[in-house]
Amino acid sequence: MIAGLGVAYPPAVSQEALWDGFFAGHYREVHAARRIFAHSGVARRHPAVDPVREDISALGTGARMSRYVETALPLGRTAVAAALADAGLAAADIGLLAVATCTGYATPGVDVRLAADLGFAPDVSRLLIGHMGCYAALPALGAVTDYVTARRRPAVLLCVEVTSLHIQPPTRDLSQVVSHALFSDAAAAVVVRPEAPGYAVLDVIAATDPATADQMTWDVTDLGFRMGLSARVPDSLATQLPGLVATLLDRHGLDRTDVAHWAVHPGGPRILDVVQKELDLPPSALAPSRDTLRDHGNCSSPTVLLVLQRIAAAPGEYVVALAFGPGLTLYGALLRA
């Protein structure tokens, strides 16, 4: 059972201020850039490294990784503390701490430092899930739920991303413009318990099409991590999505009409449009996703949990969570309040 949820963000900056203060100059040679920012569906974001105040586009990867620890740790600490309080547990009660992240590397990692800072037991098990991208929360939730089911002990999952560390040098590559118009920073944590009020995690499902692997990438370069994002991604998702959702629901004798709420990762406006069309959903079904995109941007792995936080499901109602990322990979989870 998901018994607690906590989130944390750096200070918010409006999309307009980011454009006027930095990106208008950064992309002065790209005539479509202003339109891309204006139609991103994002009104404000939370950059831990605000480009208006500090341009790190020429900073080396090593220096960015040092900054990652400085920024990810306090975000993670706040989110995990809030999730523990929401679940009514202390850090010492936890048997497993899992951390999903794709925006930074350090050894000892955020998991080790966080366990020490928050007072987890010395024998707490730890799991680091790296470089899976925007869908990482759902396979991580599946792994954590399996642990709780097998060991009958509570666990914590933290998803923490600092995408603002990976501002790239100016380019005419429109996929870079799109990435810089969408991505933001956040942390989200959930506590999973054997028995408690909350969301039962009934199932997790995945689908990967290797033929589309080049459409979404996240490459380590000498100047941070570089996002590759093809305009073909929404169309590729459209071909996989209905089958994945049907399989997930069929396993439990359900169909789409049985699902009361949809927690869909807002990868961008076009992706949400495709989900709505292919699953024949009313506009209200994706309102939590569109509102999350508007208020926080695409925060990579924490984002689907940010959407879930906006959903107020009544006891017995089903929720389907969906997230997408490199691979091209789709993940779905079936929850029941």
Confirm whether 2-192 and 200-336 share one CATH topology.
yes
Band (pLDDT 50/70/90 cuts) for residue 214 is: confident
- Is 134 designated active site? yes
Fold designation for 2-192 = Peroxisomal Thiolase; Chain A, domain 1 (3.40.47)
Nearest to 143 by CA among 174, 108, 200, 98: 98
Cis peptide upstream of residue 169 (ω within 30 degrees of 0): no
Q: Which two tokens stand for residue 306?
A: 């940010």
| Residue-wise DSSP of 122-172 | TT-EEEEEES-GGGTHHHHHHHHHHHHHHH---EEEEEEEEGGGGPPPP-S
Q: Report the C-alpha gap between 140 and 159 in whole angstroms.
A: 9
Q: Which residues contact 283 (CB under 8 A, 6 or more apart)?
A: 276
Instruction: Note the pLDDT of residue 232.
Output: 87
Q: Report the C-alpha gap between 4 and 6 in whole angstroms.
A: 7
Averaged pLDDT, 189-196? 95
Instruction: Note the pLDDT of residue 128.
Output: 95
Give residue limits of the domains in the chain.
2-192, 200-336
Q: Over the stretch 230-252, which tens digit does the pLDDT of each residue have?
A: 888 888 888 999 999 999 999 99
* pLDDT at residue 121 tops 90: yes
Fold designation for 200-336 = Peroxisomal Thiolase; Chain A, domain 1 (3.40.47)
Averaged pLDDT, 29-36? 96
* pLDDT at residue 43 tops 90: yes
Instruction: Note the pLDDT of residue 196.
Output: 87
Question: Which ranges in 24-136 belong to alpha helices (H)?
Answer: 24-26, 33-38, 61-87, 110-118
The pTM of this model reads 0.96
